[in-house]
Structure 1
Amino acid sequence: MALGVRLLACPFLVLAMCFAPARADEAGPAKIIIDTDFATMLDDGQVVAMAAQLRAEGKIDLLGVAVVSGDEWRDQEIAEAVRMTERLGIGESVGVYPGADLPLAHDRAAVAADFAAGAGGDGFIGAWGTKKPRSKADLVPPPDGFAERTEPRRQRAADFIVQSARAHPHEITIVAIGPLTDLALVAREHPDVVGLIKQVVVMGGAFDVPGNTTAKAELNWWFDPVAADEVLKLPVPVVVAPLDLSATTPLTGEVYRRIARPARPTAITDLYREIVGAGLDGKGGFEDDPGYTQPLWDQSALAYAVDPSFATTRRVVWPAVVAKPGASDGAVSYSAAPVPGRRPVTVLTRFDNDRYYSWYVDLMTRPVPPGG
């Protein structure tokens, strides 16, 4: 686990230069690829809906959506992501690309070993807790049905990322809000492409707070700890929005109601009320419990990618992820000083919450963009 690192400014001038946030408007709209373990209106689905609004506004150039197993198995997530792009009117212009279906090296036996060792936590294990689809007949439709006109792209997500990075060198931000398997595959298969990526903004990890799958590990990094550790060592700027940040940005009942019951409801706000209102376990939540809250997870990664000034506190550390079956699988250790073989990573710890909530509510309650 963490080594008790205190908040600090970047200790070296060169790091300050390397990790100074870039303005999104310096060279036109930010080119963004979202790599997600998609679910219709949980945090991943909300990120795609928000990104579609930012795209319609001209704030970002959304190149595509890569889908990787995590919260659910990839094929189920793809069906939901394709329906979302169709729902938002961007299905023809923003492709959904199939990513990794399995972690690099974290199989069912490793999952069992983690919990046999007393991993603790709330036990949410994402896709591992569900039946893996074998055909389309096994897929569960979103509340408003499957996509009718839109299909996923045939190109593999890792190949799409490689192609995009080569076409737009030093311009693309990867917003990685699922397990990091796709990015690890990019680096393994095309290491020359890594340096062409502008930055990677990651939602993942539990640095100084408890995990949300085990007592020590956050779901995305626990699901594929080998990939997480490999990505943190890549020679590319990496910014992490961990559980430490999301613990300070709760979705409160007041913020929930501003989205779930807007003056002018939309298809998105209706789905939001239906899914988010039921709570994380689907048995109750905002609609039944006035004091219910849950963290905002993936939304913070998109927020930072679009506007780094949302972050009011950050630190630079040299992290590593445990990738060994047992109670610490997927856990983070880190140092405030350089560590041989590791890379410096910017970790976000606090946001300007008032401005962040206003931005979030605005994007989630706008009318669906006509034609995307």
Structure 2
Amino acid sequence: MVELFDDGIAMMMLAKAPNIDLLGVTVVAGNTWVSEGTAYAIRQLEAIGITDIPVLQGVRLSFAPNRVENMREEIQLFGFGEGYSGSFAYEEPTFWKDVYTSRYKQEPTFGPTDMHAVNFIIEQVKRYPHEVTILAIGPCCNLAMAVRMAPEIIPLIKRVVYMGGAFTVPGNTTPAAEFNWWYDPEAARIALRSPFKEQIVVGLDVCNQIELRKDRYERIVGLLTKEKFQAMLHDNFLQTTFEERPETVWHIWDIVAAALCVEPSILKREMTRHIDINTQQGLSYGQSLAFAHNPPTGTQPVRIVIAVDEKRLWQLIEESCRSF
């Protein structure tokens, strides 16, 4: 979970959507550590005036042992694409509240729920069988752990929507792998091989088509007028990037997945494939694989989003931001 773009906006869209009951925000390590993501989630819910949605801290470490050490060897041997490793690049902060007060110079008005995110997922799926959609816009650690601990929830989940993977385009973290699934390929494999009723993947195939330039960014953040948003914009990575390099072409990822949950009709083109993740250490570690024929045993059919209605997508984003 980061501030605002990208998954912060996605979370707030879901929280404010009138057709969605956001049961909770389950934080996982990925772009940031869990303690940071927790602080950012709480701040953003405060900013939009919704403090009764539970925020839950989840899995801190990837499934594979010695993941960071192996990553360093991976970089030395095979290079590193865009060179982005998320929370792997720095030390983990110890406590979410320290992150919050250091960043925002004030005390939070509420804190995370005293339950692990994995237990919360299991609890909510059993409480609302065949009704819960899980939106996995980070690494799949929480979901994978939930189905490992309680496999009986698999047929009870309505659908899983992922932001992850790259099938017809190169990866971003490495030439082979997209960041979310590269961060924990083992967790992604467990989740994607689970026989859920429906799985939808929003990967780089569609997200690379959706460009965010400085003028559109400024128009959107100009809608975020509340005081609590201002600290998020100060020293914000994307804000700084556009100030220093105004010609930058960025993309959105998690927002696209969230928008599909809010308004499924924006989906314009898709393909169904059995998909898998390479968990063998090497040049293609974390690569997402799609099979039209003769898939590996144990893989599941997944809907891969190829194109969305971009005009309506941006309208939906701006409508949501006005409601914040």
- TM-score band (shorter)? over 0.9
The aligned residue for residue 73 of structure 1 is 33
- Partner secondary structure for residue 333 of structure 1: strand
Tell me, yes or no, if the aligned pair for 1:338 and 1:344 is still in contact at 8 Å. Answer: no
- d(CA) in 2 for partners of 1:138, 1:272: 16
**Which deviations, in whole Å up to 9, do the C-alpha atoms of 1:16-55 show, x marking residues without a partner?**
xxxxxxxxxxxxxxxxxxxxxx11223111112212221x
**Which deviations, in whole Å up to 9, do the C-alpha atoms of 1:108-152 show, x marking residues without a partner?**
122113212214301100111011123468636575345522010
The aligned residue for residue 10 of structure 1 is none
Change (3 A) 1:232 1:136: closer
The aligned residue for residue 352 of structure 1 is 309
The aligned residue for residue 192 of structure 1 is 152
Q: Which amino acid aligns with 2:210?
A: T
User: Is 2:269 the partner of 1:313?
Assistant: yes
Deviation for aligned residue 1:297: 0.5
The aligned residue for residue 54 of structure 2 is 95
**Which deviations, in whole Å up to 9, do the C-alpha atoms of 1:52-104 show, x marking residues without a partner?**
221xxx2210100000000111112112212222222222x101011101011
The aligned residue for residue 137 of structure 2 is 177
- Partner secondary structure for residue 126 of structure 2: helix
Q: What TM-score, normalized by structure 2, do the two folds share? A: 0.92
- d(CA) in 1 for partners of 2:294, 2:317: 36
Change (3 A) 1:120 1:148: closer
- d(CA) in 1 for partners of 2:248, 2:214: 7
Q: What TM-score, normalized by structure 1, do the two folds share? A: 0.81
The aligned residue for residue 110 of structure 1 is 70
**Which deviations, in whole Å up to 9, do the C-alpha atoms of 1:254-277 show, x marking residues without a partner?**
321321334x8334764675466x
Tell me, yes or no, if the aligned pair for 1:82 and 1:147 is still in contact at 8 Å. Answer: no
User: Is 2:125 the partner of 1:165?
Assistant: yes
**Which deviations, in whole Å up to 9, do the C-alpha atoms of 1:309-338 show, x marking residues without a partner?**
111010001111111222211111221125
Counterparts of 1:47-66 in structure 2 under 5 Å?
Answer: 47-54=10-17, 58-66=18-26
- d(CA) in 1 for partners of 2:294, 2:280: 23
The aligned residue for residue 7 of structure 2 is 44
Tell me, yes or no, if the aligned pair for 1:312 and 1:352 is still in contact at 8 Å. Answer: yes
1:245 to 203, 206, 213: 206
- d(CA) in 2 for partners of 1:274, 1:234: 41
- d(CA) in 1 for partners of 2:115, 2:107: 19
The aligned residue for residue 259 of structure 1 is 220
Change (3 A) 1:78 1:265: closer
Report how many aligned residue pairs link the two structures. 321
Tell me, yes or no, if the aligned pair for 2:101 and 2:108 is still in contact at 8 Å. Answer: no
The aligned residue for residue 121 of structure 1 is 81
- Partner secondary structure for residue 209 of structure 2: coil
**Which deviations, in whole Å up to 9, do the C-alpha atoms of 1:252-310 show, x marking residues without a partner?**
23321321334x8334764675466x53xx6531x344432211110011111122211
- Partner secondary structure for residue 345 of structure 1: strand
- d(CA) in 2 for partners of 1:342, 1:192: 18
- d(CA) in 2 for partners of 1:52, 1:142: 25
Q: Which amino acid aligns with 2:199?
A: V
The aligned residue for residue 21 of structure 1 is none
Deviation for aligned residue 1:156: 0.7
- d(CA) in 1 for partners of 2:202, 2:271: 11
User: Is 2:115 the partner of 1:155?
Assistant: yes
Please say which of residues 101-110 and 133-142 is displaced more in the overlay.
133-142
Deviation for aligned residue 1:214: 1.1
- Partner secondary structure for residue 63 of structure 1: coil
- Partner secondary structure for residue 23 of structure 2: strand
Change (3 A) 1:130 1:159: same
Tell me, yes or no, if the aligned pair for 1:207 and 1:244 is still in contact at 8 Å. Answer: yes
- d(CA) in 1 for partners of 2:41, 2:62: 20
Q: Which amino acid aligns with 1:167?
A: R
- Partner secondary structure for residue 313 of structure 1: strand
Tell me, yes or no, if the aligned pair for 2:14 and 2:262 is still in contact at 8 Å. Answer: no
Please say which of residues 213-222 and 319-328 is displaced more in the overlay.
319-328
Specify every segment of 5 or more residues in structure 2 that has no aligned partner in the other structure, as ranges: none
**Which deviations, in whole Å up to 9, do the C-alpha atoms of 1:223-242 show, x marking residues without a partner?**
10001011111111110000
- Partner secondary structure for residue 139 of structure 1: helix
- Partner secondary structure for residue 69 of structure 1: coil
